């Protein structure tokens, strides 16, 4: 299992279009992937789950991956977030 803490810095947070990009990327991996915010954990492959966290600019989240490609999954999602979802 691998975990990574990161702060969301794009203008709209993890809503609508950025959330869709995030979920599409998470679904590329076999590992189970979760997003955790303030003790609440949701499946990173679920649009409704991710949107339900209400992640806005400046929110710190924890990415959790467990499986055969967990390292690659975390690195890929971190790169997407650090690139502000291509904005």
The overall average pLDDT reported for the chain is 96
Domains of the chain: 2-86 (3.30.1340.10)
Between helices 70-82 and 16-26, what is the axis angle to 10°? Answer: 160
Per-residue pLDDT averaged across 16-35, rounded? 96
**Global pTM exceeds 0.85:** yes
pLDDT exceeds 80 at position 87 = no
Q: How far is CA 69 from the centre of its chain?
A: 15
Give yes or no: 11 in active site. Answer: no
Cα gap 51→1, rounded to integer Å: 24
Question: Given this model, what pLDDT does residue 16 score?
Answer: 87
**pLDDT tens, position by position, 57-76:** 999 999 999 999 999 999 99
Mean pLDDT for the stretch of residues 1-21: 94
CB atoms within 10 A of CB 55: 21
Q: Which of 10, 15, 47, 72 is catalytic?
A: 15
């Amino acid at each position: 299992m691998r975990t990574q803490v990161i702060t969301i810095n794009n203008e709209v947070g993890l809503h609508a279009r950025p959330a869709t990009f995030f979920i599409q990327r998470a679904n590329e991996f076999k590992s189970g992937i979760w997003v955790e915010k303030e003790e609440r954990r949701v499946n990173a492959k679920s649009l409704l789950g991710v949107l339900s966290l209400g992640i806005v600019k400046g929110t710190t989240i924890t990415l959790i991956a467990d499986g055969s490609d967990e390292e690659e999954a975390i690195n890929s999602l971190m790169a997407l977030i650090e690139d502000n979802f291509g904005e």
